Amino acid sequence: MISDEIRALLREELRGLTAYGAPQLDVPVRLNTNENSYALPDTVARAVTEALRAEVADLNRYPDRDAVKLRADLAAYLGHGLGFEQLWAANGSNEVQQQLLQAFGGPGRTALGFVPAYSMHPLLCAGTATAWVDGGRAADFSISPEHVAEQIRRVDPDLVFLCSPNNPTGTALALDVVEAALRTARGIVIVDEAYAEFARPGTPSALSLLHAYPRLVVSRTMSKAFAFAGARVGYLAADESVVDAVQLVRLPYHLSSLTQAAARAALAHADTLLSTVEAIKEQRDRIVHVLRSRGYEVADSDANFVLFRAYPGGVAGDQAVVWRRLLDAGVLVRDVGLPGWLRVTAGTPAETEAFLEAMKSTEEN
């Protein structure tokens, strides 16, 4: 807890804020932070271990400050004709986005987002003294090209944040929404694609627009589909000039040699790691189908999680009550602060079954 004495010394815009975080509770089924429930396959774990062992003898030396080999591997993974010059990597996509705000935001500048969306975006803005404005969404959580353009004209932001698939709603954006932002905004447009690998067939990526829009940035992560959350590796794809600009604000040697080696070993086994994606999507779709069959309102999901109303049949109620009942049944989901809604990560078949059974028990209470 921050004391009154220290709070008085804080920057004014940080006073009263709560640090980002999700409950880390020791329960049988943890489905609250959108982690990949599958552990690293043994072959990948061995490869990562060997890669780390090879680096240990040289830990007296600084790492490659530009992470060129890792960026080249990431470019090869993404395709779309990208070269390493158009990739940048950091300690999770949060650091990537923080660096973008340090470079293009700051005092006297404004970022526009469309809430509900990733809750770290306004916190990153606060941390970089960038003003944050919420452009809002429709009642069904959608945003149209017209709405995006209207809000950009109203706010005239220096940066625009879009999430596709969106967190916490799970639904991906059509490219016409992204293009509306790019055509209307004068500044940087960031499309956060942390969950892109889980999207339903035919869902486009903003990567396909990079060649036409030098102010577009696509942010990705290895935390989700790659089951690499503990390694903290995020990255962006953008015009080479944007990557050069971000390097003005990065800390020296910000990405350790161990992190770079582990990430490269994982990327070398991308097919193996991504083999769990289809299994997770099956469980996601199972959750959507079963909950809807029981009368719950559920948002369409292109991610590895599902947003659903806590009570069936359109009944209004406190989602915290259902959250607590699920926790008492040994299942931890996420209360994202949307009145009446909860979010659950799609896990293994056994975890999904445990969640669905626990949900059934909440209806009986």
pLDDT in tens, 213-263: 999 999 999 999 999 999 999 999 999 999 999 999 999 999 999 999 999
Domain 4-40+274-364 class, CATH top level? alpha beta
pLDDT of residue 62 exceeding 80, the answer is yes
Q: Which residues pair with 188 in a beta bridge?
A: 159
**Contact 91/232 with Cβ under 8 angstroms?**
yes
**Distance in angstroms (rounded) separating the CA atoms of residues 185 and 164:** 18
The pLDDT of residue 14 is: 85
Q: Which amino acid is at 54?
A: A
Query: What CATH architecture is 42-270?
Result: 3-Layer(aba) Sandwich (3.40)
Q: How confident is the model at residue 21 (pLDDT cuts 50, 70, 90)?
A: low
Q: What DSSP state is assigned to residue 19?
A: -
Q: Find, among 89, 50, 45, the residue nearest to 70 by Cα.
A: 89
| Residue range(s) in the chain whose domain bears CATH number 3.90.1150.10 | 4-40+274-364
* 134 vs 50: CA distance, rounded Å: 46
| pLDDT tens figures, 141-159 | 999 999 999 999 999 999 9
Please name the residue that has the structure tokens 């990597």. Answer: 89
- The residue that leads in pLDDT, 316 or 311, is 311
Report phi then psi at 355, rounded to 5.
-65, -45
Q: Count CB atoms within 10 A of the CB of residue 116.
A: 20
Average pLDDT, the chain: 95
Residue spans in the chain of domains classed CATH 3.40.640.10: 42-270
